[in-house]
Amino acid sequence: MLRSSPRIAFALLVFLAGVAAASQSAFAAHSPSTAQAPEQFGAGEMLLTVDQLVEIAERENPAVRASRERWFSAEHSIKQAYAPNDPVFTFFNTDSPSNPFGKAALQSYNVTESFQFPGKALLQTDQAKRNARIARLTYEAALRDTRAAVEAGYYQLLLDSALAKVNAENLDNLNRVLKVTQIAYTANQATQTDFISAEFDLAAARQQQAQYQTSVLNDKTALNQLLNRPPDEPLAIDRTLRLEPLKVRVDSLVDLAWRLRQEILESALAERNSNTALFLAKMEYLPDFTVGYQFDDYLVPNFAPSPSQTQDHSVIVGFNVPIFFWLHQNEDVARAGHDLEAARDDLASVRTQTAAAVTSTFRTTQLAYQTALLYRDSLIALSRQDFNVALIAYQSGKIDFTTLAGALGRDYAARINYLQAANQFLAGKVALEQTIGASLPK
């Protein structure tokens, strides 16, 4: 243990008192017992909350808007399934002696209409309705994912901003440490290693501060991108950090996800569509019909059925005969059957994956909440007490400067770990809501 001269000892005590005051101020600023104070902006400037950011993104995000338009597009496909095929009108200019467009012996007018076997159109309409519902679910999934991205970006911005603030306070403390070691080294009361180590720690902390500041700028750019705004547009947000525990059982969340998650509902609709496609494939064995009407106008009376009857009418009725069913219809039915089984397996797979994801995310989120509570209610207070005891012990010469610096470092690390655990908890809640497909029950 170094023995300091009275001047060095006095300077060191002044430094330690400053460190204690700064640490106490930093602890109060980041005290987990109360929410962090919102960042101050210009007078009258509105601070956007996370809910307001989500509302803006849902309204302005291009991916969400594109998904909404695809849903509207699918809605306009339903009525088309009811409509029959367009009729075909045919005109014949027959037996023209000079050219195809000259005076002919016979002119015929023909109208033909094709009809599916009764019932096919209803099944096709059901498919169109389900496709529209799938498009709506895809839009809701886009809303869900965008909401999750905005919330995650918001909480990441809060974390990086808080980390930058804590690191800035640590920079002040390291500057004081550097001055003390410089004085001690000048008075031959400390080795050059202590001074070099202090310089190294200060330089590393400055670089860390630059990284935190860059992360804050990148977080704002990411949020602006989700809000469809320019990358560097100013973004004033509410910096209040709230931790509310999960009050629901994991099995209840799994049941909720099975009922509400968009991918599960989409897979269920896809399975029903595949089942309908199988029926339609089997209905290919049934004939489709063609009905036509023909009017003949004989311009040469001798060509007519009788000289006095130069006009006649005809009706055409036809239907297809599936004589090549073993090459066409059988293969369609077999393919539709495999598609149906694949859709059922897809549904089972999504349900299993959802249950596993909800369970794992719930455990991780609960652990992060417990960790945040541990630092908030116990470890931060212990580290604060440890530093105060170490300060008194150093003043009485019972410990060296390295031990005191270690106590201060634990206090700094405790506040950093609390912020990180709180961020992991909030990010876990966002991930749970994204996996479930809806907000968590209150």
Judge whether 260 and 81 are in contact, CB under 8 Å.
no
**Dihedral sign, CA of 395, 396, 400, 406?**
negative
Tokens read off for 44: 């009258």
Q: For residue 330, is pLDDT > 70? A: yes
d(C-alpha 36, C-alpha 177), whole Å:
28
d(C-alpha 357, C-alpha 70), whole Å:
29
Q: Quick one: DSSP state of residue 247? A: -
pLDDT of residue 189: 65
Q: For residue 28, is pLDDT > 80? A: no
d(C-alpha 415, C-alpha 62), whole Å:
39
pLDDT tens-digit readout, 72-98: 999 998 888 878 888 999 988 887 777
Minimal CA–CA distance to 164: which of 218, 226, 225?
218
pTM: 0.75
CATH of 6-436, one of 3.20.20.80, 1.20.1600.10, 1.10.340.30, 1.10.1420.10: 1.20.1600.10
Tokens read off for 81: 């399934």
Q: Residue 259 CB: number of other CB atoms within 10 A?
A: 12
* Residue 191, phi then psi, degrees to nearest 5: -80, 165
pLDDT tens-digit readout, 100-154: 777 778 888 999 988 888 888 888 889 999 999 999 999 999 999 999 999 999 9
Exposure string of 288-326, with b = 16+ CB inside 10 Å and e = fewer, is bebebebebebbeeeebeeeeebeeeeeeeeeeeeeeee
Average pLDDT score over residue span 300-315: 83
Q: For residue 396, is pLDDT > 70? A: no
Alpha carbon distance, N-terminus to C-terminus of the chain: 57
Q: For residue 20, is pLDDT > 70? A: no
Angstrom CA distances, 24 to 69, 83, 169, stand at 55, 76, 11
State the virtual CA torsion across 236, 238, 241, 242 in degrees, nearest 10. Answer: -150
Contacts of residue 255, Cβ cutoff 8 Å, sequence gap at least 6? none
Whole-number average pLDDT of the chain: 82
At residue 296, the 3 state secondary structure works out as strand
Judge whether 436 and 362 are in contact, CB under 8 Å.
no
pLDDT of residue 115: 83
CA 441 from chain center: how many Å? 19
Minimal CA–CA distance to 287: which of 247, 257, 249, 320?
320
d(C-alpha 156, C-alpha 173), whole Å:
26
Q: For residue 33, is pLDDT > 60? A: no
Minimal CA–CA distance to 78: which of 8, 119, 131?
131
Judged on CB neighbours under 10 Å (0-12, 13-18, 19+), 393 is middle
* Residue 427, phi then psi, degrees to nearest 5: -65, -35
Domain boundaries, given as residue ranges, for the chain: 6-436
Contacts of residue 52, Cβ cutoff 8 Å, sequence gap at least 6? none
d(C-alpha 147, C-alpha 435), whole Å:
12
Q: Residue 412 CB: number of other CB atoms within 10 A?
A: 19
Q: For residue 421, is pLDDT > 70? A: yes
pLDDT tens-digit readout, 203-230: 988 998 999 999 999 999 999 999 999 9
Q: Residue 281 CB: number of other CB atoms within 10 A?
A: 20
Rg (CA), the chain: 39
Judge whether 393 and 4 are in contact, CB under 8 Å.
no
